[in-house]
Amino acid sequence: MDTPDIKALEQLVDELIARSKRLADENRALRNQHTHLLTERAALIEKTEHARNRVESMIARLKSMEM
Protein backbone atom coordinates (compact mmCIF):
# COMPACT_ATOMS: atom_id res chain seq x y z
CA MET A 1 0.00 0.00 0.00
CA ASP A 2 2.98 2.27 -0.28
CA THR A 3 2.27 5.18 -2.51
CA PRO A 4 4.99 6.74 -4.66
CA ASP A 5 5.06 9.74 -2.33
CA ILE A 6 5.84 7.57 0.68
CA LYS A 7 8.56 5.72 -1.24
CA ALA A 8 10.10 9.02 -2.33
CA LEU A 9 9.96 10.29 1.23
CA GLU A 10 11.58 7.10 2.53
CA GLN A 11 14.34 7.48 -0.03
CA LEU A 12 14.93 11.09 0.99
CA VAL A 13 15.04 10.14 4.67
CA ASP A 14 17.53 7.34 3.90
CA GLU A 15 19.70 9.78 1.95
CA LEU A 16 19.58 12.28 4.83
CA ILE A 17 20.57 9.57 7.30
CA ALA A 18 23.49 8.51 5.10
CA ARG A 19 24.60 12.13 4.61
CA SER A 20 24.35 12.75 8.34
CA LYS A 21 26.56 9.72 9.05
CA ARG A 22 29.13 10.87 6.46
CA LEU A 23 29.20 14.37 7.96
CA ALA A 24 29.60 12.96 11.46
CA ASP A 25 32.51 10.82 10.27
CA GLU A 26 34.09 13.79 8.50
CA ASN A 27 33.60 15.96 11.57
CA ARG A 28 35.26 13.33 13.76
CA ALA A 29 38.20 13.07 11.36
CA LEU A 30 38.59 16.86 11.25
CA ARG A 31 38.52 17.07 15.05
CA ASN A 32 41.21 14.40 15.26
CA GLN A 33 43.29 16.23 12.66
CA HIS A 34 42.83 19.50 14.56
CA THR A 35 44.02 17.88 17.79
CA HIS A 36 47.02 16.39 16.00
CA LEU A 37 47.90 19.73 14.42
CA LEU A 38 47.64 21.54 17.76
CA THR A 39 49.99 18.98 19.32
CA GLU A 40 52.40 19.28 16.40
CA ARG A 41 52.26 23.09 16.60
CA ALA A 42 53.07 23.03 20.31
CA ALA A 43 56.04 20.74 19.68
CA LEU A 44 57.32 23.01 16.90
CA ILE A 45 56.95 26.10 19.08
CA GLU A 46 58.93 24.37 21.83
CA LYS A 47 61.60 23.29 19.35
CA THR A 48 61.85 26.82 17.93
CA GLU A 49 62.11 28.30 21.41
CA HIS A 50 64.90 25.87 22.27
CA ALA A 51 66.77 26.75 19.07
CA ARG A 52 66.32 30.48 19.77
CA ASN A 53 67.73 30.06 23.27
CA ARG A 54 70.74 28.17 21.91
CA VAL A 55 71.42 30.87 19.30
CA GLU A 56 71.09 33.62 21.91
CA SER A 57 73.51 31.72 24.14
CA MET A 58 76.02 31.38 21.28
CA ILE A 59 75.74 35.08 20.49
CA ALA A 60 76.35 35.97 24.14
CA ARG A 61 79.44 33.72 24.23
CA LEU A 62 80.76 35.26 21.02
CA LYS A 63 80.24 38.75 22.38
CA SER A 64 82.09 37.84 25.57
CA MET A 65 85.05 36.58 23.47
CA GLU A 66 85.33 39.95 21.70
CA MET A 67 86.26 41.76 24.88
Residue range 15-53, pLDDT digits in tens: 999 999 999 999 999 999 999 999 999 999 999 999 999
Q: Band of the pLDDT at 4, cuts 50, 70, 90? A: confident
Q: How far is CA 13 from CA 16, 20, 27, 54, in A?
A: 5, 10, 21, 61
What gap in Å lies between CA 47 and CA 29, rounded to an integer?
Answer: 27
pLDDT value for 1: 55
